[in-house]
Amino acid sequence: MHSEKISAIGASAMPRGHALLTNPALNKGTAYTERERDALGLRGLLPPRVFTLEEQKQRALGNLRRKPNPLEKYIFLTTLQARNETLFYRLVQDNIEETMPLVYTPTVGQACIEYGSIFRRPRGLFISLREKGRIAEILRHWPVADVRMIVVTDGERILGLGDLGALGMGIPVGKLSLYTACAGVHPSYCLPITLDVGTDNETLLKDPFYIGLRQKRARSAEYDEFLREFVEAVKTVYPKALLQWEDFGNTNAFRLLEENRKKLLSFNDDIQGTAAVAIAGLIGSLRLTGQKLADQRILFLGAGEAGTGIADLFVAAAQKAGLSEADARARCCFVDSQGLVVKNRPGRPLAHHKIPYAHDRAFVATLAEAVDALKPTALIGVSGTPRTFTEQIVRRMAEFNANPVIFALSNPTSKAECTAEEAYKWTDGRAIFASGSPFDPVTLNGKTYTPGQGNNVYIFPGVGLGALACGAREVTDRMFLAAAETLAGQVAKADLDLGRVYPALTKIREVSLKIAVAVAEEAYRENLATAPRPADLEADIAAKMYEPVYHDLV
């Protein structure tokens, strides 16, 4: 699946000389051998000493660490990626705990805000409303014909930062970098896309240097026609591709997923990936609390894509554990900007995706009141509103839970509902805490707690790898439940002893492989796989994973 990417390049097609040095997929920089330098016209274009990939990595790592702040480090890494993909992925993969917060959350949030200012070299496709009627043609402008993995955004809801329009391209670029680093999806298979339909961000519309369309965001029929053309174009131009919907606004995200999930191999990471990683953390927490999944009472702050996605997957998991659908739904309650979601709530009508969780109970206006009324076992923040898990609320959770589950999942770090230190301090170290962005370990009363990062990176790379490996026709909710259960199963006792309900990021490729196998197995069970089932599924998928090493070019 991946090894042919180099060998398929014939001698006549191989770039030479300066053109080779500017090809990031083939560039080896100072690592070209003496033989390659002579055969490929590189003699004199490079300094004479030949370095190994490991030596190049150590030099690049030193340069990275000398950068003064995370944004400068992000720029360094993206520049390296545009120059030498193999070296970039070797560095990221071997230092994943250090580099993932730079490549993705939390740094990518600031990178998106400043994407126009730090723009160096285009990566991916920007498809705007101006290209309506020509989207298939634009897709064919991409230099790779065999695209297998697309991450697309329209920039309306970037992390917890809101509408960033065309600046949201940092998200697809970052996610696809993690597909390669964390799950071995070959970089040549990956295509980031931003659909520029305008922006309602007044600051951007007034910015003379904004890189996107300076017009209000398209809505209704104009938007729908554009998206339909895009989906059909992807199906035509890249029939083997999996498409990941990313950071679309609530109004469109649910609808686009439901309209297209059976037409096009696709999923929404904000809805389904977030759900799987949260449910995995919840399952892991049971090993610390000694409770059962069916005993949980979950209160969500935020009733958008992430929250209702988590609740839907919890319902599926609870049904598998023996609860009826009605009983499982009754164990999930939501507080949104208007208060507790209940039937007959005063004010504007409930959005469609909230109705299944609008229970027949008394309305309360605040999260604190909801905690008092419902006495949840788990409090999950997906609101994008920072510091909303106050000391009063967290301490109250600790009054009726020996080990309250506090998941502050909003990204980036500045949007987290509370910090790890606050959760542990306000519960005297009894909280089971996880967050969307990383927090440093916390020492309290002589004990050190290492918070888990409930980041979707544990889920989406493995799901995508598994779906591609078996040639899945559809990505189902059962596959995400299988991914969640598999991730929970990778949490070792040593992890739990540290207080975290996720495995170390250093094990991410191993975790992604296990998830890919579970997803593929589910595809075979559901008769959704098109590839013949190999005798050893895990070995077959592992053999297809890209490894960032240099190949001989002559």
Catalytic residue list: 104, 175
Maximum C-alpha span of the chain: 79
Q: Are the C-beta atoms of residues 432 and 288 closer than 8 Å to each other?
A: yes
Residue 257, φ and ψ in degrees, nearest 5 = -65, -50
Instruction: Tell me the C-alpha distance between 230 and 224, whole Å.
Output: 10
Helix (H, G, I), strand (E, B) or coil at 125: strand
In whole angstroms, give the CA distance from residue 48 to residue 44. Answer: 8
Question: Are 271 and 254 within 8 A, CB to CB?
Answer: yes
Q: Which residues of 497-532 are buried (b: 16+ CB within 10 A; e: fewer)?
A: ebbbbbbbbebbbebbbbbbbbbbbbbeeeebbeee
Let me know how many helices (H) and strands (E) the chain has, helices first.
Answer: 25, 14
Q: What is the DSSP letter of 531?
A: S
Hey, how many other C-beta atoms are within 10 angstroms of the C-beta on 88?
26
Mention every residue, 6+ apart, whose C-beta is less than 8 A from residue 440. 420
Q: 3-state DSSP call for residue 334?
A: strand
Structure tokens at 384: 């994008």
Give long-range contacts, CB 8 A cutoff, 24+ apart: 43-47: 45/17, 45/18, 45/21, 46/21
The Cα–Cα gap between 397 and 376 comes to 7
In the chain, the N- to C-terminal Cα span, in Å, equals 22
* Tokens found for residue 398: 């600790």
CA distance 215 to 413: 30
Cα 356 from chain centre: 26
CA distance 140 to 191: 12
Q: What is the DSSP letter of 270?
A: I
Rounded CA-CA distance 381/30 in Å is: 48
- Using CA atoms, how far apart are residues 402 and 431, in angstroms rounded to an integer? 8
User: Sheet holding 452-453: strands in order across?
Assistant: 339-340, 332-336, 298-301, 378-381, 405-408, 432-435, 452-453
Q: At what angle do helices 170-183 and 508-525 cross, to 10 degrees?
A: 90
Task: Compute φ and ψ for 434, nearest 5 degrees.
Answer: -145, 155
